[in-house]
Structure 1
Amino acid sequence: MSLLRGVRLNGARAAARHGTRLQPMRMIQVSAIRSALDRTGLYEFHEKHGAKMVPFAGYSMPLTYSDAGQVASHRHVREHAGLFDVGHMVQHKFKGPTSSAFLQYITPASLSAEKMKPFSSTLSVLLSPEGGILDDLMITKLSEDEFFVVTNAGRREEDLEYIGKQLEAFNKENMSNGFTMHEVLHKQGLLALQGPSAMSVLQKFVAKDVDLTKLVFGTSSYLELQVPNHGPVETLVARGGYTGEDGFEISIPPEHTVAVAEAFLSDSEVQLAGLAARDSLRLEAGMCLYGHDLDPSVSPVEGGLTWTVGRDRRQKGDFLGAERVLREIKEGPPRRRIGLVVEGPPAREGAKIYAQDGTTEIGQVTSGIPSPTLGKNIAMGMVKNNYHLAGSALLVEVRNKKYEAVVTKMPFVPNKFFRG
């Protein structure tokens, strides 16, 4: 299912949001569910600019804007630059002499000094003791004992409770080595500036001696933005994103978020983009949406994310869920995530996938859309092992009728990350 449909299903689940610091030896207390939707710091900004607001992950978020529909917005990001509010995502800081060890316990990422330099970033997965993916997350190493982490808004309560329990136990066990401190950056702004014009736009707001060509994909930097009629704003800028295009994700102090967003939007290359365009862009880029393409039953190997398991971590096997993950790396998983090009109508989440004989059910679609870039219907799905090879002919059932589909390598649209 696309995010476009998911906002209607997930909207009923709204939660109170608050910032919390995890002190050593104390478990985080998760907020109670409430009926009111939370808002990012840009809620009034969105309304001012004609956003259609919808419930998503407990927040009221922009789906589209009045000056551009989903397809037009999608294409603008591919050709120019789109500005997304991703302030609903959960931003964390982990600090302390054991922070690297703790993050390497709850994820399979390689974060040691030998494997990861300061101000570099990596996608990883939060693993259960059983080896299932509890969330996907971005980890940025600020120093050997400080990390910036971004997790999904839809998993806020579950992640914070789980991290709190694991951290309490970890700090008790590693007391002699010092504590890991966990801070949630409450109401911190987060903007994604995405598209081929993103670098030229951002360059206008940084000092002339700052060369953004040195900030390549997968790296970060603290940058001071010069915002007209507002003044300097200290931000943490990461090169990357969720669209497959070049771009940046910019963490901004709450009191400056609106001013920075307005400044970016004043550039003629920039157009606001909402959840609808974000979903179609990420699917063309072959990127997962948690709760659809990934869930606690899916391992990194099944989810096509084996590369997130560092080679040094495979040797040590000292992370949660390692037994299952390492077994599936060695023997193969029971299922695999695949990409599909589907004939006929779009195949949405839950559509059954069959072998070519038309009777052997082998899996189901997890996300599906008409691709604005390709003019074809594309989808992701989870199928039994050995049906995942590119070029394999399968069938997908849509409204009780089966249509031809071909397993296709992802990304569907080539990624354009800036690597220097």
Structure 2
Amino acid sequence: MKTTALHALHTELGAKLVDFAGWEMPLQFSGGVKEHQHTREAASLFDVSHMGQVLVRPESGNLAAAAAALESLIPASVAGLEEGRQRYGVLTTDDGGVVDDLMFARHGDHFFLVLNASRTDVDLALLQTLEGVTVEHLENRSLLAVQGPRAEESLATLVPEVREMTFMDTLRVLRPAGDFVGGQAQEAVEVWVSRSGYTGEDGFEVSLPNEHAEAFARALLALDGVEPAGLAARDSLRLEAGMCLYGHELTEGITPVEAGIAWAIPKVRRTGGSRAGGFPGADTILRQLDDGAPRERVGLRPEGRAVAREGAPLFADEHGTEQVGVVTSGGFGATVGGPIAMGLVPAGATVGTVFHTQVRGKPLPLTVTELPFVPHQYKR
């Protein structure tokens, strides 16, 4: 398995390590529920260096050319992105499914993309088909996420400029390495920060060279209120925040409209104008935007304490005579205080609609609930 630059630190801190997309990653340190609650109350540090970091540059030096190339794969407004800003987007298949979801930022003369670990190789193969751009996979940089209501005050001790950032802002700063280790080293370290994350809380993602990642992480963990957290808490937090996970709510067989992320496709890519359409699966996706999709992603609250897991069939009645949907993610919501789930069901299911599944041979009702389960806390 691959390991991140923080692997030795994870081991030192007693992490339970697991295989995730070919990477040995910390599942938990002190416990998933405890780390989940700490993130909601203070600040947690997540190692997300397994995710793909990619630079896309125009060969001509004309950034508009790189934006146009990316728009041929991503149904988002890449050309309209301002310097120092980041957006969410998807790569789509010819049939309208989702290859991957990603973040992209404008950094000077290039675009910076962050890809899912399990799809990095697939995404790179697609990106490398683009003409007129160079695609560079950065394997020499780590990615850390600081999430929670105390994320700003914590990260600002190392990067004071983050206090001025709002949700989806990005910045690039140079910092002396000595700022992290408390020494006199004055080597300039280029740090990239975005005010974003995958927990629903305020927070940041920080990209920096591998050789400085451990010192940076230790400096954060030395602060009051910052604790390490693993993949278990990251997953339960994103579920409460109603966020999609690739391989669950997003797959090559689920369109962005069905997944409830049509908001990521702006008007300029939908109808009229020179930039409308032109991406894989546009016919299917644009038709669903106009006419609706046959199914939709919804939030679900199982009755009682039983958890409905991914893949559980959903039925319209308690007898299970006809499957109408499927649970895509399910678990325990530590903030909610009970089991929660998301699923794909026939379009038109309103809040309060009840579906049914079975857990350990017993019928379990699930009620459609508004998403997110826990309100987002972004700084806007």
Give TM-score scaled by structure 2 length: 0.92
One-letter code aligned to 1:138: M
Deviation at 1:234, TM superposition (A): 2.0
Deviation at 1:357, TM superposition (A): 5.8
> Distance between the aligned counterparts of 1:404 and 1:266, measured in 2?
45
Deviation at 1:156, TM superposition (A): 2.1
**Residue aligning to 2:66:** 99
Q: 3-state SS of the aligned residue for 2:72?
A: helix
**Residue aligning to 2:261:** 305
> Distance between the aligned counterparts of 1:63 and 1:268, measured in 2?
23
- 2:318 matches 1:351: no
Specify whether residues 156 and 111 from structure 1 end up closer, same or farther in structure 2 by C-alpha distance, changes over 3 A only.
Answer: closer
**Residue aligning to 2:46:** 84
> Distance between the aligned counterparts of 1:134 and 1:78, measured in 2?
31
1:40–1:187: 8 Å Cα contact kept in structure 2? no
**Residue aligning to 1:362:** 324
**Residue aligning to 2:336:** 374
One-letter code aligned to 2:190: E
2:127–2:135: 8 Å Cα contact kept in structure 1? no
Which ranges of structure 2 fall in alignment gaps of 5 or more residues? none
**Residue aligning to 1:260:** 216
1:302–1:333: 8 Å Cα contact kept in structure 2? yes
- 2:127 matches 1:193: no
> Distance between the aligned counterparts of 1:55 and 1:269, measured in 2?
28
> Distance between the aligned counterparts of 1:48 and 1:153, measured in 2?
24
Aligned with residue 57 of structure 1, among 10, 18, 21: 21
1:340–1:381: 8 Å Cα contact kept in structure 2? yes
Aligned with residue 247 of structure 1, among 178, 193, 203: 203
Deviation at 1:155, TM superposition (A): 1.1
**Residue aligning to 1:160:** 124
Deviation at 1:390, TM superposition (A): 1.8
**Residue aligning to 2:169:** 219
> Distance between the aligned counterparts of 1:395 and 1:187, measured in 2?
48
- 2:38 matches 1:72: no
**Residue aligning to 1:129:** 94
**Residue aligning to 1:418:** 379
Deviation at 1:117, TM superposition (A): 1.1
Deviates more, 1:220-229 or 1:93-102: 220-229
Q: 3-state SS of the aligned residue for 1:106?
A: coil
Question: Taking every aligned residue pair, what percent have the same amino acid on both sides?
Answer: 43
**Residue aligning to 1:383:** 345
Residue pairs, 1:321-360, within 5 angstroms: 321-344=281-304, 345-356=306-317, 358=319, 359-360=321-322
**Residue aligning to 1:281:** 237
Deviation at 1:110, TM superposition (A): 0.6
> Distance between the aligned counterparts of 1:233 and 1:385, measured in 2?
50
One-letter code aligned to 1:186: E
Aligned with residue 407 of structure 1, among 348, 355, 368: 368
1:41–1:187: 8 Å Cα contact kept in structure 2? no
Aligned with residue 280 of structure 2, among 316, 320, 344: 320
One-letter code aligned to 1:205: L
1:74–1:372: 8 Å Cα contact kept in structure 2? yes
- Number of corresponding residues: 363
1:87–1:187: 8 Å Cα contact kept in structure 2? no
Deviation at 1:77, TM superposition (A): 0.4
> Distance between the aligned counterparts of 1:339 and 1:249, measured in 2?
27
Which ranges of structure 1 fall in alignment gaps of 5 or more residues? 1-36, 172-178
> Distance between the aligned counterparts of 1:157 and 1:181, measured in 2?
16
One-letter code aligned to 1:102: A
**Residue aligning to 1:23:** none
> Distance between the aligned counterparts of 2:337 and 2:39, measured in 1?
16
> Distance between the aligned counterparts of 1:269 and 1:194, measured in 2?
11
> Distance between the aligned counterparts of 1:349 and 1:401, measured in 2?
17
